[in-house]
Structure 1
Amino acid sequence: MKKTLAFVLTAVMSLSLLAGCGSKTTAPDNTNNDQPQQQTEEKLSGSVSTNGSTSMEKVIGALSEQFMADNSGVSVTYDPTGSGAGIEAASNGSADIGLASRALKDEEKAGGLTETVVALDGIAVIVNAGSKVEDLSVEQIAKIFTGEITDWSEVGGEAGKISCIGREAGSGTRDGFESITGTKDACKLDQELTSTGGVIEAVAGNANAIGYASLSAVEGKDTVKAVTVGGVACTEEAVLDGSYAIQRPFVLVTKTDAPLSTAAQAFFDYATSTAANDLIKAAGAVPVAK
C-alpha cells in the first residue's frame, strides 16, 4: 500500500513539474520583437533654397506653392537675384538649386555644375502698346539693338527715335536674347534694368521704346505689345515646336558631385516630372517632361 501511495505521489509531482515547464515556454514574450511593427511613413521635412533668374519667378512660384501644399513640413524659398547670381549660389553652396534662364557655359559645367532643363521660354520682343510696328525679323531686331537702325520709320512705324531697353549684364534673358540675335556685347541700350518687370514698365511708359521679356511675364499685359518675329508669334506652341526663333531654356542648376538634401531632391524630382507640367503651362512656360 505504501509503495502504491509513493508511486501515485511521484506521478502527481511529475505532472506538476511538466505543467510548470509548459507554462514557462508558452508565457508571452514582452520583448520588442513581438510588438506590432510601426507602419507609419516618415514625413518629409526641411527647407529648400532656390536662387536666380527673375524670369523664372512664375514657374518656380507655382511649383513651390504646390510642393509645399503637398509637403507641409517643407519650406521652399526663392531669391530673385538673376541667372548669374543663381549659378554662383549653386556653385558656392549658398543655395540648394540655382535658377538660370540660359544654358550653362562650358566653363561653368567644367567647374562642377550640372544643368537640367525644366521648361522652355520664349523671349518676347515688346514695343509700346500704341506702336504701329507689328512684325520684325531677327536681322531687324539685331540692327535696332546695335544702333544700325535708329528710327521707327525704317521698319514700318511712325517716325521717332528708337529707345532700346534691356537687362543688366549677367541676366539670363539678356544672354539668351543677345546669343540668339547675334548681338553679344554689341547692344546699345538707353536703359539697363535689373528685372523683367522693370523692362515691361519702361517700354509701357515710352511710345518709342523696344525691349525684350519672358513670354510668361508678357502674357496678359495690355500696356505693351509683343511683335511677331519673322511672322511667327511668341506662343507656347511656337516655342515648343521651335518655329519661334527667340527662345531659351529654364534651367535648374546643381552641383555635379554634391548630393541634394532629401527635401531638395524631392522638390527637384517633382519639378522635373510630368506631374508639374500643368503648373508650368499655367505659369506661361513650356514643360519638357514626358
Structure 2
Amino acid sequence: MKKNFITALVAISSITFTGASLAQDTISAVGSSSVTPLMETFGEVYSKAHPEIFVEVQGPGSSAGVKAAKSNTADLGMASRELKDSEKEPELVAKVIARDGIAVVVNPNNEVKELTSQQIQEIYKGEIKNWKEVGGADKPIVAITRDTASGTRGAFEDIMDLKQKVNGQKVSAISQHAQVANGNGALKTSVASNPYAIGYISLGTVDQSVKALAVDKTEATISNVKNGSYKVARPFLVLYKGQPNARTTEFLQWMESKEAQQLVDEKGYISIH
C-alpha cells in the first residue's frame, strides 16, 4: 500500500514538473489593427524558434496601444502613426519596426483610376459628392472612414490635411456623413461590396477585392513608398515604457533582425533596413 502511494506521488510530481517545463511566458502586444497582422506573423515565427514564448496580440486601435504602453497593461503597445505631442512622455519609447503606405481604395468595377490629394480631401470633407465630379459614373460617392481611435485614420488625416480648428482645438474635418468601419478588414469588405464606395487601408492588406488608386499621379506601391514619391505613408511603431523585461527585450531585438525584416517585405510592408 505504502509502495503504491509513493509511486503515485512520483507520477504526480512527474506530471507537475512536465507541465511546468511546457509552460509558456506570454508577451502581450496591444494596439493598431494595421500592425496586428504583422505582429501576429512575428509572434508565430518567433514562438517556433522559442517555444517557451507566446506572443498574444490584440488590435483595438493605435490610441489603445499608446495607453496600454503608458500604463504598462501590455508589454508592448502598437501604433500605426506618429505619436501626438500630447501622448509623448520621457520614458515612453517608440521604435519603428516597419513602414507602410496607406492605399486609397475603391471597388474594382469603379472606372476611376487616380485622384489628387485635393480631390480626396474634398471627398472626405463632403464637398465632392458624386463620382462624375472626378471622372467617374453619375453616382453618389460613399465615403468610408475609420473610427477615431484608428492610427490609420490619424495618419490619413494628417497627410491629407483633414484637420480643422474648433474652439482652439484640432478636430477631424472628415464629414459626419462618412460611414465608419472598425478595422482594415471591415473597411476593405465594405468597399469590395459597394461599387461606389471609397476608403483607405494599409497598403500591405490590399488584395484583388479592392483597387488602389494612384494619388497625385503616383501609384500606391512599396517601391514608391521607399523612394518617397508616394506620400501617403506612415510608420509602424512598437511602444514601451521604462525598461522591458528580458523576454520582451529579446523579442524587440529580434524584430529588427534580418530574419524579421524579411518577413516585413514578404507581407507587403516596407522593411526598415
TM-score range, shorter chain: 0.7 to 0.9
Provide the TM-score with structure 1 as the length reference.
0.81
Q: Look up the match of 1:151.
A: 130
Residues 216-267 of structure 1, C-alpha deviations (whole Å, 9 max, x = no match): 111xx22211111111111111111111011111001111xx2111111111
Question: What is the SS of the residue equivalent to 1:287?
Answer: coil
Question: What is the SS of the residue equivalent to 2:136?
Answer: coil
Q: Look up the match of 2:268.
A: 284
Q: CA deviation at 1:190?
A: 2.8
Structure 2 distance, partners of 1:147, 1:79, is 33
Q: Look up the match of 2:210.
A: 224
Larger Rg: 1
Letter in structure 2 aligned against 1:183: L
1:242-281 to structure 2, matched below 5 A, reads 242-255=228-241, 258-281=242-265
Which deviates more from structure 2 when the two are superposed, residues 168-177 or residues 185-194?
A: 185-194
Kept in 1, the 8 Å contact 2:36–2:58? The answer is: no
Structure 2 distance, partners of 1:58, 1:283, is 9
Q: Look up the match of 1:30.
A: none
Q: CA RMSD in A?
A: 1.6
Letter in structure 2 aligned against 1:125: V
Residues 19-69 of structure 1, C-alpha deviations (whole Å, 9 max, x = no match): xxxxxxxxxxxxxxxxxxxxxxxxxx6221100111112211221111111
Structure 1 distance, partners of 2:30, 2:41, is 15
Q: Does 1:240 align with 2:226?
A: yes
Letter in structure 2 aligned against 1:162: I
Identity score, percent: 37
Kept in 1, the 8 Å contact 2:103–2:232? The answer is: yes
Letter in structure 1 aligned against 2:198: I
Structure 2 distance, partners of 1:205, 1:190, is 16
1:115-130 to structure 2, matched below 5 A, reads 115-130=94-109
Question: What is the SS of the residue equivalent to 1:54?
Answer: coil
The count of corresponding residues between Structure 1 and Structure 2 is 243
Q: Look up the match of 2:179.
A: 191
Kept in 2, the 8 Å contact 1:89–1:95? The answer is: yes
Question: What is the SS of the residue equivalent to 2:93?
Answer: strand
Which deviates more from structure 2 when the two are superposed, residues 57-66 or residues 131-140?
A: 57-66
Structure 1 distance, partners of 2:59, 2:86, is 23
Q: CA deviation at 1:156?
A: 0.7
Provide the TM-score with structure 2 as the length reference.
0.86
Question: What is the SS of the residue equivalent to 1:110?
Answer: coil
Q: Look up the match of 1:22.
A: none
Structure 2 distance, partners of 1:57, 1:235, is 21
Structure 2 distance, partners of 1:173, 1:179, is 10
Letter in structure 2 aligned against 1:209: A
Letter in structure 2 aligned against 1:186: A
1:1-290 to structure 2, matched below 5 A, reads 46-110=25-89, 112-184=91-163, 185-188=172-175, 189-218=177-206, 221-255=207-241, 258-289=242-273
Residues 88-132 of structure 1, C-alpha deviations (whole Å, 9 max, x = no match): 111111100100000112222236322111111000000111000
Structure 1 distance, partners of 2:90, 2:152, is 22
Q: CA deviation at 1:272?
A: 1.9
Kept in 2, the 8 Å contact 1:47–1:264? The answer is: no
Kept in 1, the 8 Å contact 2:124–2:178? The answer is: no
Specify every segment of 5 or more residues in structure 2 that has no aligned partner in the other structure, as ranges. 1-23, 164-171
Which deviates more from structure 2 when the two are superposed, residues 98-107 or residues 185-194?
A: 185-194
Question: What is the SS of the residue equivalent to 2:198?
Answer: strand
Structure 2 distance, partners of 1:181, 1:190, is 16
